[in-house]
Amino acid sequence: MNEIAVDTTENAFLPGGRRRHRKPRQNSTGSGLHRALVLAMAVPMASAALAGPAAFAAEKSGSATAKSYGLDPDDQQIAKNLESRVHDARLGSNVSGVVIDADSDTTVWGHNASTALMPASNAKLATATAALTVLGPDHRFSTNVVYGNGTLTLVGGGDRTLTTADLTELANAAVAGLKAAGLTTVKVAVDDSLFPEPTLADGWKDGYYPDTVAPVRALVVDKHAVQDTSIDAGQVFAKRLTAAGITVSGDVTRATADEKDVPVARHTSAPLSDIVRSMLKLSDNNVAETLLRMSAIGAGHPATFEGGTEVVRQVLSGVYGVSLDNFQLHDGSGLSRNDRIPAATLAQILELLTQPRYAHTLGSILDGLPVSGEAGSTLGPEFGRFDGENSKCAVGKVHAKTGTLTGAIALSGLTRGKDGEWKVFSFVENGATAEQNATKDAMDDLAATVNGCYA
Q: 246 and 106 share a domain?
A: no
Query: Within 13 Å of residue 202, how many CA atoms lie on the same side as its CB?
Result: 10
**pLDDT at 33 (0 to 100):** 47
Q: Are 124 and 291 in contact (CB under 8 A)?
A: no
Q: Does residue 20 lie in a domain region? A: no
Q: Does residue 206 lie in a domain region? A: yes
Q: 212 and 111 share a domain?
A: no
**pLDDT at 15 (0 to 100):** 54
Per DSSP, the three-state class of 81 is: helix
Q: 313 and 426 share a domain?
A: yes
Distance CA 288, CA 257 (A): 26
**pLDDT at 44 (0 to 100):** 34
Q: Are 323 and 345 in contact (CB under 8 A)?
A: yes
Distance CA 162, CA 149 (A): 26
**pLDDT at 313 (0 to 100):** 98
| For range 164-181, the mean pLDDT | 97
CATH number at residue 337: 3.40.710.10
**pLDDT at 200 (0 to 100):** 87
**pLDDT at 419 (0 to 100):** 86
Count: domains in the chain: 2
Q: 347 and 299 share a domain?
A: yes
Range of the domain at 437: 31-137+275-451
Q: Which residue has the higher pLDDT, 317 or 55?
A: 317
- When mean pLDDT is compared across 13-27, 166-180, 202-216, 239-253, the lowest value belongs to 13-27
The pTM score is 0.88
| For range 171-176, the mean pLDDT | 97
**pLDDT at 209 (0 to 100):** 85
154 pLDDT band, cuts 50/70/90, is very high
Helices (H) and strands (E) in the chain, counts: 12, 14
Q: Burial letters for 24-57: b for 16+ Cβ neighbours within 10 Å, e otherwise?
A: ebeebbeeebbebbeebbeeeeebbbbbbeebbe
Q: 294 and 174 share a domain?
A: no
**pLDDT at 207 (0 to 100):** 84
**pLDDT at 28 (0 to 100):** 40
Write the pLDDT tens digit of every residue in 431-448: 999 999 999 999 999 999
Q: 327 and 350 share a domain?
A: yes
Q: Does residue 6 lie in a domain region? A: no
Going by the DSSP 8-state scheme, the letter that residue 22 receives in this structure is B
Last residue of a domain, one of 269, 291, 326: 269
**Summary mean pLDDT of the chain:** 88
CATH number at residue 158: 3.50.80.20
Q: 262 and 337 share a domain?
A: no
What percent of the chain clears pLDDT 90, i.e. is strictly above it? Answer: 81
71-78: long-range contacts (C-beta < 8 A, 24 or more apart)?
71/15, 71/16, 71/106, 71/108, 72/419, 74/417, 74/418, 74/419, 74/452, 75/15, 75/101, 75/108, 75/417, 77/452, 77/455, 78/108, 78/109, 78/417, 78/423, 78/449, 78/450, 78/452
Last residue of a domain, one of 226, 249, 269: 269
Write the pLDDT tens digit of every residue in 183-210: 999 999 999 999 998 888 999 998 888 8
Q: Does residue 2 lie in a domain region? A: no
407 pLDDT band, cuts 50/70/90, is very high
Query: Within 13 Å of residue 53, how many CA atoms lie on the same side as its CB?
Result: 3
**pLDDT at 410 (0 to 100):** 98
Last residue of a domain, one of 269, 304, 336: 269
Q: Does residue 349 lie in a domain region? A: yes
Q: 236 and 306 share a domain?
A: no
Q: How far is CA 258 from CA 27, 235, 255, in A?
A: 40, 21, 9
272 pLDDT band, cuts 50/70/90, is very high
Q: 338 and 363 share a domain?
A: yes
Write the pLDDT tens digit of every residue in 25-74: 434 444 444 445 544 444 333 333 333 332 333 344 455 544 436 789 99
223 pLDDT band, cuts 50/70/90, is very high
Q: Does residue 13 lie in a domain region? A: no
Q: Does residue 251 lie in a domain region? A: yes
Query: Within 13 Å of residue 169, how many CA atoms lie on the same side as its CB?
Result: 11
Q: 241 and 122 share a domain?
A: no
Distance CA 320, CA 312 (A): 11
Q: Does residue 398 lie in a domain region? A: yes
Distance CA 287, CA 237 (A): 21
**pLDDT at 26 (0 to 100):** 37
**pLDDT at 451 (0 to 100):** 97
Whether the per-residue pLDDT at 11 is higher than 70: the answer is: no
Going by the DSSP 8-state scheme, the letter that residue 349 receives in this structure is H
Q: 154 and 133 share a domain?
A: no
| For range 131-156, the mean pLDDT | 98
The alpha carbons of the chain give a radius of gyration, in whole angstroms, of 24
For 68, other C-beta atoms within 10 Å of its C-beta total 9
Q: 214 and 281 share a domain?
A: no
**pLDDT at 70 (0 to 100):** 76
